[in-house]
């Protein structure tokens, strides 16, 4: 009995997996510095923050950004299908994540669950700098990534409270 065309394809994939050599397909950009960031201005982001896209990092499932929030300013109220973690590199502030208001400072990690409204505020006198890590590339590959902005309003204003 011969194999069907679908089974032949499956067997070829199995063979490829068993004999995969990851070093033969390693990407070039294994080290990427902050100078590689492509900065989006507030006109593009729709809020006072600056976003530095680190598109040269060859990760397949994660996306990396630098974010700067000027003193006294905030991001927009937004939600998205992916998870995200902000690593605070400089400054202090607070985040609205759903109905919760959480303070943070340099060295903290801020986790945003999928599809929860959130907004980040700089309560300090210096520019806040953060490294943002998202699993958005994975959701992009699956056709499931979505992002939505409610604009420059607080969570309570958005909810009509």
9 burial (CB, 10 Å; 0-12 / 13-18 / 19+) is exposed
Question: ∠ CA(137), CA(141), CA(144), 5° rounding?
Answer: 90
The pLDDT, as a whole number, for residue 161 is 86
Cβ atoms 88, 130 nearer than 8 A: yes
Dihedral (C-alpha) 73, 78, 83, 85: value to the nearest 10 degrees?
0
The pLDDT, as a whole number, for residue 148 is 95
Q: In what order do the strands lie in the sheet with 118-122?
A: 100-105, 92-97, 118-122, 77-80, 147-151
Q: What is the mean pLDDT of the chain?
A: 95
State mean pLDDT over 128-135: 98
Task: Give the number of other CB atoms < 10 A from CB of residue 5.
Answer: 8
Tokens 């201005």 found at: 41
64-102 pLDDT, tens digit each: 999 999 999 999 999 999 999 999 999 999 999 999 999
Cβ atoms 70, 47 nearer than 8 A: no
For 92, the token pair is 């202090």
Cβ atoms 161, 96 nearer than 8 A: no
CATH fold group of domain 30-158: Jelly Rolls (2.60.120)
Nearest-angstrom CA–CA distance, 24 and 26: 6
pTM: 0.86
Dihedral (C-alpha) 10, 145, 111, 109: value to the nearest 10 degrees?
80
């Amino acid at each position: 009995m011969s194999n069907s065309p679908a089974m032949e394809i499956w067997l070829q994939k199995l063979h490829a997996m068993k004999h995969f050599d990851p070093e033969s397909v390693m990407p070039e950009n294994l080290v990427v510095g902050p100078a590689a960031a492509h900065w989006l201005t507030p006109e593009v982001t729709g809020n006072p923050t600056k976003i530095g896209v680190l598109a040269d990092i060859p990760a397949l499932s994660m996306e990396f950004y630098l974010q700067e929030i000027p003193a006294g300013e905030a991001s927009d109220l937004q939600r998205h299908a992916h998870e995200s973690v902000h690593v605070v590199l400089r400054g202090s502030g607070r985040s609205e994540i759903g109905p919760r208001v959480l303070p943070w400072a340099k060295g903290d990690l801020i986790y945003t669950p999928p599809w929860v409204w959130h907004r980040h505020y700089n309560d300090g006198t210096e520019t806040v700098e953060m490294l943002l890590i998202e699993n958005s590339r994975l959701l992009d590959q699956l056709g499931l990534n979505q992002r939505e902005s409610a604009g420059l309003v607080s969570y309570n204003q958005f909810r009509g409270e």
